[in-house]
């Protein structure tokens, strides 16, 4: 059995978590500070802020800037991207994607901007950055905030810059991602005023954390400057994240090596379109996705692989604009999305994770070839 993904967790994470458990300080604490500092340095920004999920990060990035107008997002994404916009009181406006990368098409972005547009959320799909030079230029021209949904692309770069360094970065540490804390997220920014506001919003609107107050003369003094939320990450999860960050370069290199082997093994299979690494991008392959030729039945293909013990899946179907809640939002669906709709019906995610063995790669390649022959 080749699972879709297996998190890479070792003795270092276990020791760090055990240290926290034995310390008695389980809530937001010292490891949050260490994790944030390491993360900010890696991304190349001034501030990194731990939180409980990428969805919370996206939501807070909007709320902290009082964005309640239109926010342009790709429909080809996990529904959390649009949910964050709606729950923040704003309106998502869906746009189409590029056929090769599955990332937001800057041309479609430009066409969607109106007087009511306040922000754009490019989603870096499967480990590869969007065309951030074009997106940032368009956003600057129209005075739009850029919020990067970098959930799938920790370590991916565009023109030498890390995902999450072009605007406000929002990251996920779900078990399928490039590093994991089980559940968790991170916000990145170079704006010190915004960072202070975000930290307050994450912790009930109080400007200082429990850990910081504990060192003060009046640790019981808790005064809220905002009506905030409880989106904090615990010291336990931060300890795991801190240790995971030390391994990120190695784990991403392993993903890239495995992707190269999968591409090499499937290169002669004309029935599938293989991943493309775009110009200026370093792809970190959080997922390995292929697109089936239209004559193949995607459901039969995935189920056949699953029966052979290969944990194939689909990311993402249906696209957000076709999901029940969003089908009823007339203000959100203004443009045709032929590329999104086509790819959502043909894309398949094959297993990839750092601990995958050479024999697992061979099993995937041979399984794909076998199933295609069977279905033709």
CATH number of the domain enclosing 285: 3.90.1150.10
Where among 246, 281, 314 does a domain terminate?
246
Q: Which of 129-143, 206-220, 231-245, 264-278 has the lowest mean pLDDT?
A: 206-220
Instruction: List pLDDT tens digits, range 327-373.
Output: 999 889 999 999 999 999 999 999 999 999 999 999 999 999 999 99
User: Looking at the predicted structure, is the pLDDT value of residue 217 above 90?
Assistant: no
Q: Which of 304, 306, 307, 317 is nearest to 347 (CA)?
A: 317
Model confidence, pTM = 0.95
Reported confidence tier of residue 257, pLDDT bands at 50, 70, 90: very high
Question: What is the pairing mode between strands 272-273 and 185-189?
Answer: unpaired
Q: CA-to-CA distance for 290 and 54, rounded, in angstroms?
A: 25
Instruction: Give yes or no for a contact between 242 and 179, defined as CB atoms under 8 angstroms apart.
Output: no
CA 104 to chain centre: 14
* Longest alpha-carbon distance in the chain: 74
Note the pLDDT of residue 227.
84
The CA distance from 211 to 61, in Å, is 24
Same structural domain, 173 and 322: no
Domain final residue, candidates 227, 246, 265: 246
The band of 207, judged by pLDDT with boundaries at 50, 70 and 90, is confident
The pLDDT of 266-271, averaged and rounded, is: 96
Distance CA 188, CA 168 (A): 6
Q: What percent of the chain lies above the pLDDT cut of 90?
A: 92
Reply yes or no on whether the pLDDT at 303 is more than 60: yes
pLDDT digits (tens, 9 = 90+) for 307-329: 999 999 999 999 999 999 999 99
The predicted pLDDT at position 214 comes to 57
Is residue 2 one of the residues assigned to a domain?
no
Do 234 and 166 sit in the same domain of this protein?
A: yes
Query: Per-residue pLDDT averaged across 253-258, rounded?
Result: 98
pLDDT attached to residue 215: 55
pLDDT digits (tens, 9 = 90+) for 36-82: 999 999 999 999 999 999 999 999 999 999 999 999 999 999 999 99
Cβ atoms within 10 Å of 139's Cβ, excluding its own:
25
Q: What percent of the chain has pLDDT over 70?
A: 96
pLDDT for position 376: 80
280 noted as active-site residue: no
Q: Note whether 80 and 38 are same-domain residues.
A: yes
- Tell me, what's the pLDDT at 221? 63
Q: Domain of 287?
A: 249-375
Please report where in the chains the tokens 């565009």 appear, as a residue.
Answer: 158
Clarify whether residues 299 and 367 are in a common domain. yes
Would you place residue 211 in the very low, low, confident or very high pLDDT band (cuts 50, 70, 90)?
low
Strands across the sheet with 161-162, in order? 161-162, 157-158, 281-282
CB-based contact 127:370 (threshold 8 Å): no
> How would you label 235-246 residue by residue, b for 16+ Cβ within 10 Å and e otherwise?
bbbbbbbbbbbe
What is the rounded average pLDDT of the residues 203-213? Answer: 72
Rounded mean pLDDT of 269-298?
97
Mean of per-residue pLDDT scores for the chain: 95
- DSSP string computed for 106-171: HHHHHHH--TTEEEE--B--TT----HHHHHHHHHHHT-EEEEE-TT-TT-EETTEETTSSSEEEE
Average pLDDT over residues 116-128: 98
Domain end marker among 191, 212, 246: 246
Q: What is the pLDDT of residues 84-96, one digit of tens each?
A: 999 999 999 999 9
Based on the domain organization, do 234 and 286 belong to the same domain?
no
208: preceding bond cis by omega (within 30 degrees): no
Contact 1, 309 (CB under 8 A): yes
Split into its structural domains, the chain has a count of 2
* 275 has a pLDDT exceeding 60: yes
Can you tell me the mean pLDDT for 97-126? 98
- Give me the catalytic one of 3, 33, 110, 177: 177
């Amino acid at each position: 059995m080749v699972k879709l993904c297996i998190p890479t967790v070792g003795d270092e994470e276990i020791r760090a978590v055990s240290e926290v458990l034995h310390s008695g300080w389980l809530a937001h604490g010292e490891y949050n500070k260490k994790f944030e500092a390491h993360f900010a340095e890696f991304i190349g920004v001034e501030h990194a802020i731990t939180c409980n999920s990428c969805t919370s990060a996206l939501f807070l990035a909007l709320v902290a800037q009082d964005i309640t107008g239109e926010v342009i997002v790709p429909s080809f994404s996990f529904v959390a991207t649009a949910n964050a916009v709606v729950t923040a009181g704003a309106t998502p406006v869906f746009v189409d994607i590029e056929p090769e990368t599955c990332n937001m098409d800057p041309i479609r972005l430009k066409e969607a901007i109106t007087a009511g547009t306040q922000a754009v959320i490019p989603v870096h799909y499967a480990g590869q950055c969007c065309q951030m030079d074009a997106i940032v230029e368009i956003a600057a021209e129209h005075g739009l905030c850029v919020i990067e949904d970098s959930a799938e692309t920790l370590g991916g770069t565009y023109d030498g810059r890390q995902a999450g360094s072009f605007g406000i970065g929002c990251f996920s540490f779900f078990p399928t991602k490039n590093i994991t804390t089980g559940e968790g997220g991170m916000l990145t920014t170079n704006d010190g005023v915004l960072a202070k506001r975000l930290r307050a919003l994450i912790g009930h609107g109080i400007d200082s954390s429990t850990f910081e107050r504990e060192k003060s003369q009046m640790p019981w003094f808790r005064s809220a400057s905002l009506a905030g939320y409880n989106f904090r990450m615990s010291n336990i999860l931060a300890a795991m994240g801190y240790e995971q960050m030390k391994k990120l370069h190695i784990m991403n290199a392993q993903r890239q090596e495995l992707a190269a082997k999968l591409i090499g093994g499937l290169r002669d299979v004309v029935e599938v379109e293989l991943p493309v690494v775009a110009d200026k991008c370093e792809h970190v392959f959080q997922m390995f996705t292929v697109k089936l030729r239209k004559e193949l039945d995607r459901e039969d293909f995935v189920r056949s692989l699953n029966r052979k013990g290969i944990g194939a899946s689909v990311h993402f179907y249906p696209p957000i604009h076709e999901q029940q809640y969003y089908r009823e939002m007339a203000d959100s669906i203004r443009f045709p999305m032929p590329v999104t709709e086509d790819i959502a019906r043909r894309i398949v995610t094959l297993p990839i994770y750092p601990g995958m063995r050479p024999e697992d790669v061979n099993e995937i390649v041979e399984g794909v070839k076998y199933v295609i022959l069977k279905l033709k």
